[in-house]
Amino acid sequence: MSIELSEETRDSAVGGQALHASQAQPTPDRIEDDAHALRVAQRLADAFAPEAAARDRERRLPWAELDAFVASGLWAITVPREFGGAGVRSGTLAEVTAAISAADGSLGQIPQNHFYALEVLRVGGSEEQQRFFYERVLAGERFGNALAETGHKDFRRRTRLTRTTAGWHIDGRKFYCTGALYAHWIPTLVITEERGRDVTCLAFVPRNAPGVEVIDDWDGFGQRITGSGSVQFSHVRVEPEWVVPFQASFERPTTIGPLAQIIHAAIDLGQARGAFQAAQQFVREHARPWIDAKVDRAADDPLTIAQFGDLAVRLRAAEALLRRAGRFVDAAQAEPTERSVAQASVAVAEARALTTTISLDAGTRLFELAGTSATLDGLGLDRFWRNARTHTLHDPVRWKYHAVGNYYLNDKLPPRHGAL
């Protein structure tokens, strides 16, 4: 598969500026079903992998790769069938994410909040809102995010949506805005007054709206090209029909949290696969055996073989837990109840606990098994651990174990929010 950066895309990237929602773009392919989605994802992963180390090392923003990713139709796979999408299963979405993440962890993470926003829309949006935004996604537009605040503990100082007779406006600043740099729309978590009390909503803000400033200031040592910097909103006008209820969607059982988390688990699983595959290749082709092994090839070292066996078993276990979690999320989407959503959250937490561990361990043991020569900077093999360590800090895994243990020991249902 050949991927070339178009002149239009290159021009839009000058100075770090994102694509505008008003730009003409080719209509993406339509994904037919789950099997089609998986085939396309693997084809893209094979195309993305060769330049992943260079993109990471040079912090080369992946405009061409994102264009190809969207053009494939994969960014629309969760649009329900009744609105023209493929409506794939949650397990398929997770496997697509894992396949891309194995090739390039940053590319795997960029659409996470895109799919999160689509789930918020599915759960809480009106039919008119769903139809409008689903059509935009099917046409090739992508969502970023502006959810996290920049340290404000005072609830009243957070990003607000002000409603007046002169219009609705947003003011505030966000950070960790993964994908906003590349987005056509930036779903933004806002606080607004409603019937005398503050509530949270998700406002879909056009990337090129006056007063929106996307700042490319993400300098984490991992996931370097996710575009996870800041967004400043200065009296940005939004239309009422672009604002979707958010808080209300957590006051009843919904799958927003489990869906978000299963994608995160899939990113970690993909990182683990990528590290495992890189270790296999390096040990087979370049590593030297330890002298006491008395073998000619590192791949014949019995202790190295045992270590690979241990990694492979735990990798397979993580894959199985992720597939199992997908079935629970699907069941909860079909019939959301207190118990079904809780079961989905717990199943996803179990998967996240193991994918966190295996992604970090695979990235570390790559060097232990490959040896000192694997640390040469030009190889870029450190990116697997750096990406895994950065992404697994998204929310603390220790609280996953707490949720799982409290469920099984005390029959306590986990809290409903985006991190469970």
3-state SS of 199-238 is EEEEEEEECCCCCEEEECCCCCCCCCCCCCCEEEEEEEEE
Structure tokens, 392: 């697994």
Average confidence (pLDDT) per 10 residues, the chain, 420 residues: 34 36 71 98 98 97 97 98 98 98 98 98 97 98 93 68 95 96 98 92 98 97 97 97 94 96 98 98 96 96 97 98 98 98 98 98 97 95 98 95 98 90
Whether the Cβ atoms of residue 355 and residue 322 lie closer than 8 Å to each other: yes
Domain region containing 323:
252-410
Size of the chain in residues: 420
Domain boundary pick from 118, 138, 158: 138
Predicted confidence at residue 17, as pLDDT, reads 39
Domain presence at residue 418: no
Q: Which residues contact 28 (CB under 8 A, 6 or more apart)?
A: 70, 71, 72, 73, 75, 76, 138, 139, 140
Q: Which residues contact 328 (CB under 8 A, 6 or more apart)?
A: 258, 340, 343, 344, 347, 348
Q: Is 26 exposed, middle or buried (0-12, 13-18, 19+ CB in 10 A)?
A: exposed
Residue type, 156: R
- The dihedral through the CA atoms of 392, 398, 402, 404 has a sign that is positive
Of residues 51, 100, 388, the one with CA closest to residue 221: 388
Structure tokens, 99: 């396949």
Domain presence at residue 257: yes
Domain presence at residue 178: yes
Which CATH number does the domain housing residue 298 bear? Answer: 1.20.140.10
Q: Are strands 148-149 and 212-215 parallel, antiparallel or unpaired?
A: unpaired
> In this structure, are 360 and 319 located in the same domain?
yes
Predicted confidence at residue 195, as pLDDT, reads 86
Predicted confidence at residue 24, as pLDDT, reads 52
C-alpha distances in Å from residue 281, one per residue of 113, 286, 370: 33, 8, 9
Which CATH number does the domain housing residue 36 bear? Answer: 1.10.540.10
Alpha carbon distance 126, 117 (integer Å): 14
> In this structure, are 266 and 402 located in the same domain?
yes
> In this structure, are 126 and 188 located in the same domain?
no
> In this structure, are 91 and 168 located in the same domain?
no
Predicted confidence at residue 196, as pLDDT, reads 87
What secondary structure does DSSP assign to 134-191, as a single string? HHHHHTT--B--B-EESS--SGGGS-EEEEETTEEEEEEEEE--TTGGG-SEEEEEEE
Domain presence at residue 2: no
> In this structure, are 227 and 307 located in the same domain?
no
What is the Cα gyration radius of the chain? 22
Alpha carbon distance 89, 262 (integer Å): 12
Domain presence at residue 416: no
> In this structure, are 216 and 322 located in the same domain?
no
Structure tokens, 120: 């918020």
> In this structure, are 319 and 340 located in the same domain?
yes
Predicted confidence at residue 153, as pLDDT, reads 58
Predicted confidence at residue 306, as pLDDT, reads 97
Domain boundary pick from 193, 219, 246: 246
Long-range CB pairs of 43-47 (<8 Å, 24+ gap) are 43/1, 44/1, 44/68, 44/69, 44/72, 44/74, 44/99, 44/100, 44/103, 45/99, 45/100, 45/102, 45/103, 46/1, 46/103, 47/1, 47/2, 47/3
Of residues 316, 338, 343, 339, the one with CA closest to residue 327: 343
E strands in 340-404: none
C-alpha distances in Å from residue 59, one per residue of 99, 218, 267, 271, 367: 21, 11, 19, 18, 23
Within 10 A of 183 (CB to CB), how many other CB atoms are there?
29
Structure tokens, 302: 């019995």
> In this structure, are 315 and 258 located in the same domain?
yes
pTM for this model (two decimals)? 0.93
Domain presence at residue 319: yes
> In this structure, are 258 and 406 located in the same domain?
yes
Domain presence at residue 241: yes
> In this structure, are 207 and 350 located in the same domain?
no
> In this structure, are 192 and 308 located in the same domain?
no
Alpha carbon distance 119, 325 (integer Å): 17
Helix (H) or strand (E) holding 251: none
Predicted confidence at residue 156, as pLDDT, reads 54
Which CATH number does the domain housing residue 218 bear? Answer: 2.40.110.10
3-state helix, strand and coil shares in percent for the chain, rounded to the nearest 5: 55, 15, 30
Domain presence at residue 415: no
Q: What is the count of structural domains for the chain?
A: 3
Predicted confidence at residue 151, as pLDDT, reads 63
Predicted confidence at residue 158, as pLDDT, reads 87
> In this structure, are 206 and 62 located in the same domain?
no
Domain boundary pick from 219, 246, 273: 246
Alpha carbon distance 358, 397 (integer Å): 12
